[in-house]
Structure 1
Amino acid sequence: MLEALDAGEVRRWAAACVESLDAHRALIDRINVFPVADGDTGSNLLHTLRAALEALLRAPSADRSTAGAALTVLAKGAVTGARGNSGVIASQLLRGMAEAAWSAPVVDAGVLAAALAQGSRRAHAAVSEPAPGTMLTVLAAAARGSGDSLHDVALNAARAAAAALDETPAQLPVLAEAGVVDAGGRGVVVLLDALVAVIAGEPVSTTAARVDGVPRPPDTAVVAAREGGSELYGYEVMYLLEDASAESADRLRRALEDLGDSVSVAGDGDALWTVHVHCNDIGGAIEAGIDAGRPRRIRVARFADAVPDGPARYVRERAVVAPVRGDDLADLFLAEGVAVLRVDDGLPPTPYELLQVITGTGAAHVTVLPGHPDLTATADEAAARAVAAGQDVVVVPCASPVQALAALAVHDPRRRAGDDVVAMAEAAAATRRGEVVVADADAITWIGPCAQGDVLGFADGEVVLIEPGPATPDAVSRAAVGVVDRMLAAGGELVTALLGASAPDTLADALAEHLRLTRPEADLAVHRAGQGDAVLVLGLE
């Protein structure tokens, strides 16, 4: 039995929350009936906690060395990745816990009790019109738990939350009428049960057998397109808000309350806020954010566009989806009929963002071309979520946009879906890849040390040459032809060159002239792609 949570135990709790929410997601989604029936609460909580865990796993070890620091990273990740009202409330629970424990190397009984209390206060403050019998009610009950040991505090909080959850139908007639407890409150109990299990050193129970606090038939849930709010409002608007003071956030909250409902403006304590509102005036909601700070990651959903369950939700048979770096390259994919997610060089997409593109195709079968090693895991997770919802999605392994283009070149929607995927995968695997990049720091490579500003040539993911900096047009051209020569040494007929945003104007001509003199049998296809992470991307078929 643990007497205190250190940074490692905080991480284990976050992972246990994700594991348990993943198991309970579907049934939590099914019992969401307040204020209108919905199918997203479990999914939104899972997405939010998964974003928090990912932030913690990616953070430098120095930033998560204590329990308080780890909770702070979790809270910031949750605020950034919050989805829906329930996700915003969960992010504020973590923020309050982090504030209470920020200076603590470990979380003991006293710190945990204070953390739960502060988390409840933060969650209440984030909601413009709290209602009894909801997630906030369950959090408030958990915050009143106490005890002499860490386990006692957590266990009493979980028991108090479960008791409050069972009372929610008496507080909200719509819950009693449907024969269910509050979905968000059930999510809170899942999080606290996971905490008790981690402290006790027991495996996290992921059984989803009793999600309802009140028995009911399993098929009575009505799935709609919103998580809370009046049906008078047709749109959900969410965005992150940077560079905003607390006073500006308060003004924004009041402005959004005049525009709609389900308003929440919740911060991470460091001038970053997540904003949520249901409204009809999309422009007004965004303009209010511009007045308060700097909005980004703006997401707008129209409830009327919600896709129904079952085969009827698919409007076409096949689609191809690709996350793409570089506006010009995105245009190239779009011209081929691909549904594109535009990816910023310094801001990788979340699985949820890619999932929106996948489901937005309305296709029964979707092939995803990640086109970069860093995007493969994101594509796999987004595909898994889409498959769980009934869509047939396959990720074709491709570690470079040239491999994605090669797969796209053989795509034939007239073939059987399985045969088409095999053909695309074979084309991608048969395409060798190369890159020319400028080193942004001193480093040690497989072929020796490089200095910042040197030009590096890669073939199939390995450094094969180093051209001393600075990265002049001549240096870049020498590196480019050097990589091409090494790749062609094993044979090949078609060289594809994708020019990055920083590629010199002379690079394409230099490649063409070199191939004309040394490899006249090889064809060259050059495209202005505009990617920022590589001066040049090469493909060889």
Structure 2
Amino acid sequence: MKRWLSKAETTLGNHSDRLNAINIFPVADGDTGTNLYLTVRAAAHALRETVPDTAAMPQITAELLSADPAVHVVGPPDPAHNDVGAVLSRAGQAAMEQARGNSGTLFAVFLCAAAEPLAGHARLSSPLLATALDRAQLRAWSALSEPVPGTMLSVMEAAARAAAAVDAEHGGDDSNHTLGLALDAAVEAALAAVVRTEDQLAALHTAHVVDAGGVGMLLILDCLRSAVLGEELQSELLDGLHGYDVQDPHIHADMPRDDGVEVMCTISLSPLDAAMLRQRLDEMGDSVIMSQVGGDADANGAYRWRVHVHVPAADAAVVLIRSLGEPDDLSVSELAVPRDPAADPRNPDGHAR
């Protein structure tokens, strides 16, 4: 899992410019690649700081212990380091807290949800992969107030269905061989779903491009396959995707400029206040995403929520959010201005650019 997210961080960094170039839905702000990269980077760094590289650690076997009584283990290993669900949950929480944009927030939701059925397991298997991908795509679809086919949601769903089909065909076999078949099928189905996005959304069809978030999700899934199977990334995977050739123009730059702003924050809310906030934000704007951060309530019965919305102006949304509690990491970003990750991420007023 650590290798997966590290590989995904590098891959999205390499592809962020092309992903930005074809990012025209839901708004042509040219930042999907940047947002996915920054969100995956947060997840990867969380594991880099907390999970040791167990593959490089010497293994002290029972035979060695019995042969040399002087050899001893200084302390018991942390079970969470060998718990796939716990590791991914840690990464998902970091991604959720630092998620950027629609695509980054949906990936963070995907990662947190995928971790749940993997809790307590020391290895991935085909049945677990199928369950995790299905939980993740369902949670991502439900996080959006108005989910739209032809986006990264469709790619998540296609991958989950393909993995489930392999698992069913092999009767729940948990061998590494069947896991490889499930990963192959998930990536193949994700690619087919990406190709379909062009005809699922009118804006993409008119511009003759595939969905940027969908391509990003495809790359992430191929990184998972590569990390688990110990194989190289499939370099030919993106060949022929409309708008994705290096020589293709930055299509978003020629699209009409989008008015309005993106507001994001993390805030503790009761279930009732969370439902009310989602309803009010739906009335104010669109692209509303609300997803729970972590599973436990605080002493007052409130849960942490990651909030995302596009609104014509920020003031009313910010006032509404602050009326319900004190938000963390509140950011207000112009939709019409692509963000430069190398630039100072804060404006003088404290809001993220």
Sort the TM-score into its range (normalised by shorter chain): 0.7 to 0.9
Which residue of the other structure, out of 261, 277, 294, is the alignment partner of 2:286? 261
Distance 2:139 2:211 in 1: 20
State whether structure 2 residue 110 is matched by structure 1 residue 81.
Answer: no
State whether structure 2 residue 246 is matched by structure 1 residue 222.
Answer: no
The aligned length equals 302
- Alignment match, 1:139: 156
State whether structure 2 residue 226 is matched by structure 1 residue 197.
Answer: yes
Distance 1:208 1:40 in 2: 22
Query: Secondary structure of 2:253's partner?
Result: coil
- Cα shift at 1:132: 1.6
- Alignment match, 1:35: 26
Distance 1:298 1:36, change over 3 A: closer
Higher helix share: 2
Alignment of 1:467-482 (within 5 A): none
State whether structure 2 residue 300 is matched by structure 1 residue 287.
Answer: no
State whether structure 2 residue 263 is matched by structure 1 residue 237.
Answer: yes
State whether structure 2 residue 279 is matched by structure 1 residue 250.
Answer: no
State whether structure 2 residue 207 is matched by structure 1 residue 178.
Answer: yes
Query: Secondary structure of 1:356's partner?
Result: coil
- Cα shift at 1:114: 0.3
Distance 1:211 1:182, change over 3 A: farther
Query: Secondary structure of 2:327's partner?
Result: strand
Distance 1:115 1:178, change over 3 A: same
The answer (yes or no) to whether the contact 1:128–1:263 under 8 Å persists in 2 is: yes
Distance 2:235 2:3 in 1: 15
Q: Deviations over 1:4-32 (max 9, x none)?
A: xxxxxx11111111111111111111111
The answer (yes or no) to whether the contact 2:31–2:339 under 8 Å persists in 1 is: no
Alignment of 1:397-412 (within 5 A): none
Distance 1:188 1:211, change over 3 A: farther
- Cα shift at 1:281: 4.2
The answer (yes or no) to whether the contact 1:186–1:211 under 8 Å persists in 2 is: no
Which residue of the other structure, out of 143, 160, 180, is the alignment partner of 1:151? 180
- Alignment match, 2:13: 22
The answer (yes or no) to whether the contact 1:18–1:50 under 8 Å persists in 2 is: yes
The answer (yes or no) to whether the contact 2:24–2:255 under 8 Å persists in 1 is: no
- Cα shift at 1:99: 1.2
- Alignment match, 1:486: none
Distance 2:197 2:85 in 1: 32
Alignment of 1:89-488 (within 5 A): 89-146=106-163, 147=166, 148=170, 149-204=178-233, 210=239, 212-213=241-242, 218-219=248-249, 221-223=251-253, 231=258, 233-241=259-267, 243-270=268-295, 271-303=303-335, 306=337, 355-357=344-346
The answer (yes or no) to whether the contact 1:235–1:300 under 8 Å persists in 2 is: yes
- Cα shift at 1:191: 0.7
- Cα shift at 1:83: 0.2
- Alignment match, 2:59: none
Query: Secondary structure of 2:116's partner?
Result: helix
- Cα shift at 1:173: 2.0
Give every structure 1 segment of 4 or more consecutive aligned residues whose post-TM-superposition deviation is greater than 4 Å: 205-209, 213-217
Q: Deviations over 1:97-134 (max 9, x none)?
A: 01121222222111111000000011101111111211
Distance 1:180 1:130 in 2: 20
Query: Secondary structure of 1:273's partner?
Result: strand
Distance 1:301 1:111, change over 3 A: same
Distance 1:356 1:134 in 2: 27
The answer (yes or no) to whether the contact 1:85–1:262 under 8 Å persists in 2 is: yes
- Cα shift at 1:291: 4.1
- Alignment match, 1:49: 40
Taking structure 1 as the reference length, the TM-score comes to 0.52
- Cα shift at 1:37: 2.2
Query: Secondary structure of 2:108's partner?
Result: helix
Which of the pair has the greater relative contact order for Cα pairs under 8 Å at 6+ separation?
2
The answer (yes or no) to whether the contact 1:56–1:64 under 8 Å persists in 2 is: no
Distance 1:106 1:260, change over 3 A: same
Query: Secondary structure of 2:330's partner?
Result: strand
Distance 1:178 1:145 in 2: 29
Distance 1:308 1:73, change over 3 A: closer
Higher strand share: 1
Q: Deviations over 1:186-236 (max 9, x none)?
A: 01110111111112211335789648346776125133899xxx94x5221
Distance 1:67 1:298, change over 3 A: same
Comparing 57-66 with 277-286, which one deviates more in the overlay? 57-66
Distance 2:307 2:339 in 1: 27
Q: Deviations over 1:358-414 (max 9, x none)?
A: xx69xxxxxxxxxxxxxxxxxxxxxxxxxxxxxxxxxxxxxxxxxxxxxxxxxxxxx
Q: Deviations over 1:58-96 (max 9, x none)?
A: 236645331111011011011011000000110011011
Q: Deviations over 1:153-177 (max 9, x none)?
A: 1111111111111111111122122
2:345 aligned partner, one-letter code:
Q
The answer (yes or no) to whether the contact 1:235–1:302 under 8 Å persists in 2 is: yes
Query: Secondary structure of 2:146's partner?
Result: coil
Distance 1:281 1:224, change over 3 A: same
The answer (yes or no) to whether the contact 2:262–2:334 under 8 Å persists in 1 is: yes
Distance 1:213 1:130 in 2: 23
Q: Deviations over 1:432-454 (max 9, x none)?
A: xxxxxxxxxxxxxxxxxxxxxxx
